[in-house]
Amino acid sequence: MAEEKILLGKVALVTGASRGIGAATAQALARAGAHVILTARTAADLEQIEDQIHEAGGAATIAPVDLTEPDAVARLAAAVGNRWDRLDHLVISAAYLPLLTSVAHIEPKEFNKALTVNVLATQALLASFDALLKRSQAGRIVGLTSSVAQTPRAYWGAYAATKAAFEMLLDCHAQEVERISRVRVAIVDPGATRTAMRARAFPGEDAATLKSPDVVAARITALLVQDFPTGHRERVD
Protein backbone atom coordinates (compact mmCIF):
# COMPACT_ATOMS: atom_id res chain seq x y z
CA MET A 1 0.00 0.00 0.00
CA ALA A 2 2.86 2.39 0.81
CA GLU A 3 4.00 2.26 -2.82
CA GLU A 4 0.69 3.81 -3.94
CA LYS A 5 1.73 7.33 -2.80
CA ILE A 6 -1.22 7.51 -0.43
CA LEU A 7 0.53 10.30 1.51
CA LEU A 8 1.55 12.41 -1.47
CA GLY A 9 1.89 16.05 -0.46
CA LYS A 10 1.73 15.34 3.26
CA VAL A 11 4.27 16.53 5.81
CA ALA A 12 5.17 14.03 8.53
CA LEU A 13 7.47 14.16 11.53
CA VAL A 14 8.86 10.97 13.07
CA THR A 15 10.74 10.96 16.36
CA GLY A 16 13.30 8.24 17.01
CA ALA A 17 13.78 8.05 13.24
CA SER A 18 17.41 6.95 13.23
CA ARG A 19 16.79 3.24 13.88
CA GLY A 20 14.27 0.49 14.50
CA ILE A 21 10.56 1.15 14.07
CA GLY A 22 11.11 4.91 13.78
CA ALA A 23 13.50 4.55 10.86
CA ALA A 24 11.31 1.97 9.13
CA THR A 25 8.26 4.21 9.58
CA ALA A 26 10.07 7.24 8.18
CA GLN A 27 11.09 5.26 5.11
CA ALA A 28 7.58 3.86 4.65
CA LEU A 29 6.00 7.30 4.88
CA ALA A 30 8.48 8.66 2.35
CA ARG A 31 7.71 5.81 -0.06
CA ALA A 32 4.05 6.70 0.35
CA GLY A 33 4.79 10.23 -0.86
CA ALA A 34 5.15 12.22 2.37
CA HIS A 35 7.95 14.68 3.03
CA VAL A 36 9.36 13.23 6.25
CA ILE A 37 11.11 15.22 8.95
CA LEU A 38 13.50 12.85 10.71
CA THR A 39 14.35 13.52 14.33
CA ALA A 40 16.72 11.75 16.72
CA ARG A 41 19.82 12.69 18.69
CA THR A 42 22.57 11.69 16.28
CA ALA A 43 22.91 13.56 12.99
CA ALA A 44 25.10 10.90 11.39
CA ASP A 45 22.51 8.18 11.96
CA LEU A 46 19.74 10.40 10.61
CA GLU A 47 21.80 11.18 7.53
CA GLN A 48 22.00 7.49 6.70
CA ILE A 49 18.22 7.16 6.78
CA GLU A 50 17.84 10.38 4.82
CA ASP A 51 20.24 9.09 2.15
CA GLN A 52 18.28 5.85 1.86
CA ILE A 53 15.04 7.80 1.46
CA HIS A 54 16.53 10.05 -1.22
CA GLU A 55 18.04 7.09 -3.08
CA ALA A 56 14.56 5.53 -3.18
CA GLY A 57 13.13 8.71 -4.67
CA GLY A 58 11.58 10.07 -1.49
CA ALA A 59 11.83 13.42 0.29
CA ALA A 60 13.18 13.93 3.80
CA THR A 61 14.75 16.54 6.04
CA ILE A 62 16.84 15.74 9.11
CA ALA A 63 16.41 17.63 12.36
CA PRO A 64 18.79 16.34 15.06
CA VAL A 65 17.17 16.88 18.45
CA ASP A 66 18.03 15.71 21.95
CA LEU A 67 14.66 15.38 23.63
CA THR A 68 16.28 15.67 27.06
CA GLU A 69 17.40 19.26 26.39
CA PRO A 70 15.18 22.08 27.67
CA ASP A 71 13.21 23.83 24.90
CA ALA A 72 14.55 21.41 22.27
CA VAL A 73 11.05 20.48 21.08
CA ALA A 74 9.90 24.10 21.02
CA ARG A 75 12.88 25.01 18.85
CA LEU A 76 12.11 22.10 16.53
CA ALA A 77 8.48 23.17 16.17
CA ALA A 78 9.54 26.74 15.41
CA ALA A 79 11.91 25.51 12.70
CA VAL A 80 9.23 23.30 11.16
CA GLY A 81 6.69 26.13 11.29
CA ASN A 82 9.08 28.47 9.51
CA ARG A 83 9.30 26.07 6.56
CA TRP A 84 5.83 24.49 6.41
CA ASP A 85 2.41 25.96 7.14
CA ARG A 86 1.14 22.75 8.71
CA LEU A 87 2.06 19.29 9.99
CA ASP A 88 -0.11 16.43 8.77
CA HIS A 89 1.33 13.51 10.73
CA LEU A 90 3.24 13.19 13.99
CA VAL A 91 4.60 9.74 14.84
CA ILE A 92 6.06 9.53 18.34
CA SER A 93 8.43 6.59 18.20
CA ALA A 94 11.33 7.78 20.37
CA ALA A 95 11.52 6.07 23.75
CA TYR A 96 14.10 5.30 26.40
CA LEU A 97 14.28 1.93 28.16
CA PRO A 98 15.86 2.30 31.61
CA LEU A 99 17.65 -0.54 33.33
CA LEU A 100 15.27 -3.35 34.20
CA THR A 101 15.23 -3.74 37.95
CA SER A 102 12.88 -3.98 40.90
CA VAL A 103 10.94 -0.89 41.91
CA ALA A 104 12.93 -0.77 45.14
CA HIS A 105 16.18 -0.51 43.18
CA ILE A 106 15.24 1.88 40.36
CA GLU A 107 18.23 4.11 39.64
CA PRO A 108 17.09 7.77 39.84
CA LYS A 109 19.20 9.00 36.93
CA GLU A 110 17.85 6.27 34.65
CA PHE A 111 14.29 6.89 35.78
CA ASN A 112 14.61 10.63 35.24
CA LYS A 113 15.87 10.11 31.70
CA ALA A 114 12.99 7.76 30.93
CA LEU A 115 10.51 10.26 32.35
CA THR A 116 12.05 13.05 30.29
CA VAL A 117 12.09 11.18 26.97
CA ASN A 118 8.91 9.16 27.34
CA VAL A 119 6.67 11.62 29.19
CA LEU A 120 7.92 15.21 29.32
CA ALA A 121 9.04 15.23 25.68
CA THR A 122 5.69 13.76 24.64
CA GLN A 123 3.82 16.60 26.33
CA ALA A 124 6.18 19.08 24.70
CA LEU A 125 5.56 17.53 21.27
CA LEU A 126 1.80 17.66 21.70
CA ALA A 127 1.92 21.26 22.89
CA SER A 128 4.50 22.58 20.42
CA PHE A 129 2.97 21.00 17.31
CA ASP A 130 -0.67 21.50 18.29
CA ALA A 131 -1.21 24.55 16.09
CA LEU A 132 0.53 23.06 13.06
CA LEU A 133 -1.45 19.82 13.33
CA LYS A 134 -4.73 21.72 13.60
CA ARG A 135 -3.92 23.46 10.30
CA SER A 136 -3.91 20.12 8.52
CA GLN A 137 -7.03 18.89 6.77
CA ALA A 138 -6.63 15.59 8.61
CA GLY A 139 -3.97 15.82 11.31
CA ARG A 140 -2.93 12.50 12.75
CA ILE A 141 -0.89 11.65 15.86
CA VAL A 142 0.36 8.10 16.41
CA GLY A 143 2.17 7.19 19.60
CA LEU A 144 4.02 3.90 19.98
CA THR A 145 3.50 2.20 23.31
CA SER A 146 4.24 -1.10 25.05
CA SER A 147 2.03 -3.76 26.59
CA VAL A 148 3.62 -3.06 29.99
CA ALA A 149 1.83 0.30 30.07
CA GLN A 150 -1.36 -1.55 30.99
CA THR A 151 -0.13 -4.97 32.12
CA PRO A 152 2.26 -4.83 35.12
CA ARG A 153 5.41 -6.92 34.81
CA ALA A 154 8.03 -7.50 37.50
CA TYR A 155 11.24 -5.49 37.01
CA TRP A 156 9.67 -3.31 34.32
CA GLY A 157 8.24 -0.74 36.75
CA ALA A 158 10.28 2.27 35.62
CA TYR A 159 9.57 1.84 31.91
CA ALA A 160 5.97 0.74 32.48
CA ALA A 161 5.23 3.81 34.59
CA THR A 162 6.51 6.15 31.91
CA LYS A 163 4.59 4.42 29.12
CA ALA A 164 1.40 4.44 31.21
CA ALA A 165 1.83 8.20 31.61
CA PHE A 166 2.60 8.45 27.89
CA GLU A 167 -0.68 6.75 27.04
CA MET A 168 -2.65 8.93 29.45
CA LEU A 169 -1.26 12.11 27.88
CA LEU A 170 -2.27 10.90 24.42
CA ASP A 171 -5.72 9.77 25.56
CA CYS A 172 -6.45 13.08 27.28
CA HIS A 173 -5.17 15.08 24.32
CA ALA A 174 -7.35 12.97 22.01
CA GLN A 175 -10.46 14.00 23.94
CA GLU A 176 -9.40 17.64 24.14
CA VAL A 177 -8.93 18.11 20.38
CA GLU A 178 -11.74 15.86 19.14
CA ARG A 179 -14.50 18.47 19.00
CA ILE A 180 -12.40 21.48 18.05
CA SER A 181 -10.25 20.11 15.23
CA ARG A 182 -9.83 17.38 12.66
CA VAL A 183 -6.84 15.97 14.55
CA ARG A 184 -7.14 12.30 15.48
CA VAL A 185 -4.94 10.40 17.93
CA ALA A 186 -4.04 6.70 17.93
CA ILE A 187 -1.93 4.55 20.22
CA VAL A 188 -0.18 1.60 18.62
CA ASP A 189 1.48 -1.29 20.45
CA PRO A 190 3.97 -2.75 17.95
CA GLY A 191 4.19 -6.06 19.79
CA ALA A 192 7.33 -8.19 19.66
CA THR A 193 9.50 -6.60 16.98
CA ARG A 194 13.13 -7.01 15.94
CA THR A 195 14.72 -3.85 17.38
CA ALA A 196 17.79 -2.90 19.40
CA MET A 197 15.59 -2.00 22.37
CA ARG A 198 13.96 -5.43 22.27
CA ALA A 199 17.40 -7.07 22.15
CA ARG A 200 18.45 -5.14 25.26
CA ALA A 201 15.34 -6.22 27.12
CA PHE A 202 15.46 -9.87 26.00
CA PRO A 203 19.14 -10.67 25.29
CA GLY A 204 18.60 -14.42 24.95
CA GLU A 205 15.74 -14.14 22.47
CA ASP A 206 16.11 -15.41 18.90
CA ALA A 207 15.65 -12.26 16.81
CA ALA A 208 14.81 -14.37 13.77
CA THR A 209 11.50 -15.29 15.42
CA LEU A 210 10.40 -11.64 15.62
CA LYS A 211 8.68 -9.57 12.96
CA SER A 212 10.56 -6.84 11.12
CA PRO A 213 10.05 -3.16 11.96
CA ASP A 214 8.81 -2.84 8.37
CA VAL A 215 5.63 -4.70 9.36
CA VAL A 216 4.83 -2.11 12.01
CA ALA A 217 5.79 0.73 9.67
CA ALA A 218 3.41 -0.53 7.00
CA ARG A 219 0.54 -0.64 9.48
CA ILE A 220 1.25 2.88 10.74
CA THR A 221 1.35 4.18 7.17
CA ALA A 222 -2.00 2.59 6.37
CA LEU A 223 -3.51 3.89 9.63
CA LEU A 224 -2.59 7.50 8.85
CA VAL A 225 -5.02 7.69 5.95
CA GLN A 226 -7.90 6.06 7.80
CA ASP A 227 -10.72 7.98 9.44
CA PHE A 228 -10.32 6.21 12.76
CA PRO A 229 -12.06 7.50 15.91
CA THR A 230 -9.75 9.53 18.08
CA GLY A 231 -8.34 7.50 20.95
CA HIS A 232 -8.02 4.48 18.66
CA ARG A 233 -5.83 1.66 19.96
CA GLU A 234 -4.39 -1.38 18.29
CA ARG A 235 -1.64 -3.96 18.54
CA VAL A 236 0.42 -5.12 15.57
CA ASP A 237 0.85 -8.90 15.80
Q: What are phi and psi of 181, to 5 degrees?
A: -160, 175
Asked if 83 and 52 touch (Cβ cutoff 8 Å), the reply is no
One DSSP character per residue, 78-144 reads HHHHHH-S---EEEE-----PPP--GGG--HHHHHHHHIIIIIHHHHHHHHTHHHHHTSTT-EEEEE
Active-site residue, selected from the candidate residues 159, 218, 221, 236: 159
159 is catalytic: yes
Closest CA to 86 of 146, 182, 11: 11
Rg (C-alpha) for the chain, rounded Å, is 17
Please give the positions annotated as active site. 159
